[in-house]
Amino acid sequence: MKARILAVFLAFCATPAAAQAPLVADISSREIAITTGFAGAELLLFGAVEGRGDIAVVVRGPRRSATVRQKSRVGGVWVNTHSREYLNLPAYYRAAASRPIERIAPRAVLDRYEIGEDHVQFALAPGQSSDDFDTYREAFLRNMAYLGLYAGGEGQVSVVDRRLFRTTVSFPANVPTGLYGVEMYLFRDGRLITRRTTPLVVRKVGLESQIYDYAHEQAATYGLIAIVVALVAGWTAGAVFRRA
Amino acid sequence: MQVYLPIAEMSANVFALLALGGAVGFLSGLFGVGGGFLMTPLLIFFGVPSAVAVATGANQVVASSVSGALAHWRHGNVDFKMGLMLLLGGAIGSTVGVSIFTMLRRLGQVDLLIQASYVVFLGAIGAMMVIESARAWLRSRNPSAPRRKLHIHTWVHGLPLKMRFRRSKLYISAIAPVSIGIFAGVMSAIMGVGGGFVMVPAMIYILGMPTSVVIGTSLFQIIFVMANVTFLQAYSNQTVDIVLATILLVGAVIGAQFGTVVGTRLKAEQLRAALGLIVLLVGLRVAWELVATPPDVFSIAPLGLQ
């Protein structure tokens, strides 16, 4: 796998077209397939730039609504008491840059393109209180980092010869399914020169996807099958017991 | 070897899951209980989302109670009439329980509900069992102490709608087993347990059933109640993970075989005391989680689709 990625990378770098456009980029795979043995994945993001500049890479999962809950002690017991609901937060997020992100571009630009975890925009759902906004925002980032869905910081884009760049992005086993966007940005003196977006699909394949879809689309039949499996297993076990 | 669990949406080690199923199966074979009360908290501890743990636990209990009930049925230790009365209550109770569960899941309080149920029921029943078996042990060491009466008349015998239960040698009101069934059914849905550890003492102490028929009858009833819970959880919450349940099943079946062998070598009081102690310890463990300051007071709910 590693060797193949490297081969693709080298072949890509050797292409003369790479020298023409200001930014050309690709990823080692356009799809992450969640199979029975899936335990996470790692992708190589690579490309070449023309002229000097800073590179930032963002991998963004599908947008989801999210609820952050806060526990407090009620009568000696920890209970969920407060919550905030947000709309449109990426279910997965990774950012990497060739220099510390804050030095690449002004804050407004980073906010606009949501480059860097601190620049992900949090939109409260209608009717949600904006009290303790930062506390809840940080709690979301911290918990997502704990789940491996956010990184809790930025990765490093390594640049070779001021022209070729590469970075690796890891996806944990609990990676959400859906359509991802891999965005690569070229900045020069704080100005955005160009950007490239490549789609990335994360999906369950084979049995896993069939089971999941079946459980949601044919919930009643799925429930009955689960019961039949258990009954047959129990019956078989009973028969084996008797003989033993 | 890692395996991806499609509903729990996590990857787990197959051998760890088999060992978990095996350990719980060993205990269920040893004590003649479904083992759901151990399985569900252990799955949660393992990182399985609590809603999935409860629903999948229910599915797994169906299998273990089928094999248990079969063995008891062969020995003629199932009172089907009593079982049907308990079942009637169980069907009502588990349906109510799943709707309470679904409602609280929406409110974000389902973890609290599961944990609080565990603390209250496991704590109370574990303590009762330990005390009772300690008393039995003391009595056996002191034979001059007065023996318990064989048949005690309580308020249960004053209820209307009396029915004859031949195998249990009882003539009591149908209201009593139906109510016990309802209560156990609600708990089954909320806790993902068969409710055997509640029904067994209730059948012995409240209904006055002979101990020999109690376990077989409760297992018979549990099959149907847990099948109902599995169906309703799968239908309304989509939280039954068939892959996880199957792996646990395989472990549990093997474990139960060893448990049964060891169980025949131990005395009844010792078994009851040991089971009581385990029940109590699980209850205390869950209580500790409720009371201890969590590492992070903030948590995120599973992300919703837009």
Test B112 with A222 for CB contact under 8 angstroms: no
Residue whose tokens read 């965005």: A183
What would be the CATH architecture of the domain defined by A2-204? Sandwich (2.60)
Q: Give the chain B residue nearest A239 (alpha carbons).
A: B67
The CB-side HSE value for A167 (13 A sphere, CA atoms) comes to 23
Of A140-149, B15-24, B104-113, B288-297, the poorest mean pLDDT is in: B104-113
Q: Determine the pLDDT at residue A19.
A: 45
Q: Determine the pLDDT at residue A17.
A: 47
User: In this model, does residue A77 exceed pLDDT 60?
Assistant: yes
Give the tens place of pLDDT for each residue, A12-68: 555 544 445 788 889 999 999 998 888 899 999 999 998 888 999 999 999 999 999
Give the tens place of pLDDT for each residue, A190-199: 999 999 999 9
What distance in Å separates the CA atoms of residue B124 and residue A236, rounded to the nearest whole number?
A: 35
Q: ipTM value, please give it.
A: 0.81
H or E segment and range at residue B38: helix B36-46
Average pLDDT over residues B105-121: 81
Q: Give the chain B residue nearest A227 (alpha carbons).
A: B227
pLDDT band at B96 (very low <50, low <70, confident <90, very high): very high
Test B234 with A231 for CB contact under 8 angstroms: no
Average pLDDT over residues A76-83: 88
Give the tens place of pLDDT for each residue, B37-56: 888 888 988 888 888 998 99
Average pLDDT over residues B215-221: 85
Average pLDDT over residues A173-188: 93
Average pLDDT over residues A144-152: 91
Test B304 with A66 for CB contact under 8 angstroms: yes
Q: Determine the pLDDT at residue A41.
A: 93
What distance in Å separates the CA atoms of residue B66 and residue A234, rounded to the nearest whole number?
A: 5
Count of helix runs (H) and strand runs (E) in chain B:
10, 5
How much is the mean pLDDT over chain A?
88
Domain residue ranges in chain B: 2-142+153-291
Q: Which of B66, B118, B261 to mutate to test the interface with A (most CBs of A within 10 A)?
A: B66
Identify the DSSP state of B229.
H
The closest CB to that of A215, out of B7, B10, B306, belongs to B7
Average pLDDT over residues B250-276: 80
From B145's Cα to the closest Cα of chain A, the distance in A is 41
Nearest Cα residue to B35 out of B57, B54, B17, B52: B57
User: In this model, does residue A202 exceed pLDDT 90?
Assistant: yes
Residue A43, strand partner residues: A169
Domain residue ranges in chain A: 2-204, 205-244
Give me the helices (H) in B77-210, please: 80-107, 110-141, 175-191, 196-202
Q: Which residues of A touch B192 (CB under 8 A)?
A: none
pLDDT band at A5 (very low <50, low <70, confident <90, very high): low
What distance in Å separates the CA atoms of residue A126 and residue A20, rounded to the nearest whole number?
A: 47
User: In this model, does residue A181 exceed pLDDT 90?
Assistant: yes
From B35's Cα to the closest Cα of chain A, the distance in A is 14
